[in-house]
Amino acid sequence: MEKEFAPYEQALELKELGFNEPCFRYYNYNGTHFFDYKPKTDDKNLTKAPLYQQAFRWFREKYDKYGVVNIDLSNNLEDKIFVYMIEDKLGYIIDRSEEYNTYEEAELECLKKLIEIVKNK
């Protein structure tokens, strides 16, 4: 289940951007995970750990930024290479990545880029 959650560093950055959706997991001040922990009060030492799916939905709903990871078979139909694209609500490409060897690498880099784009907006 670990790989379904955004890493601690990105969770902190999402928190700074105002992410405040309900989550199943929280990180404490040093990134340790708590499963099914729901604080009774607003604990400043805890950071919500969103699923990647939640983070991407949040960027769509709040900022009209659409991050998508796709397989790129253009170079060689046998090699699986992954890329991400970030588009705005009109379908204009804001960013397109280099190639990554795994879907998970591309997904993380896409999330990092979405955070960077919104921070620099």
- The confidence score (pLDDT) of residue 117 equals 96
Higher pLDDT, 37 or 69: 69
Q: Is the pLDDT of residue 89 over 80?
A: yes
* pLDDT, tens only, 1-53: 788 999 999 999 999 999 999 998 888 878 776 656 666 666 777 889 999 99
pTM of the model: 0.89
- What's the whole-number average pLDDT of the chain? 89
Q: Are 57 and 50 in contact (CB under 8 A)?
A: no
Using CB atoms within 10 Å of the CB of residue 63, give its burial: 0 to 12 exposed, 13 to 18 middle, 19+ buried.
middle
User: What is the average per-residue pLDDT within 77-101?
Assistant: 90
Contacts of residue 15, defined as CB under 8 A and 6 or more positions apart, other chains included, come to 47, 48
State whether the Cα torsion 39-42-47-48 is positive or negative. positive
Strands annotated E in 1-121: 25-27, 33-35, 47-49, 65-72, 81-88, 93-96
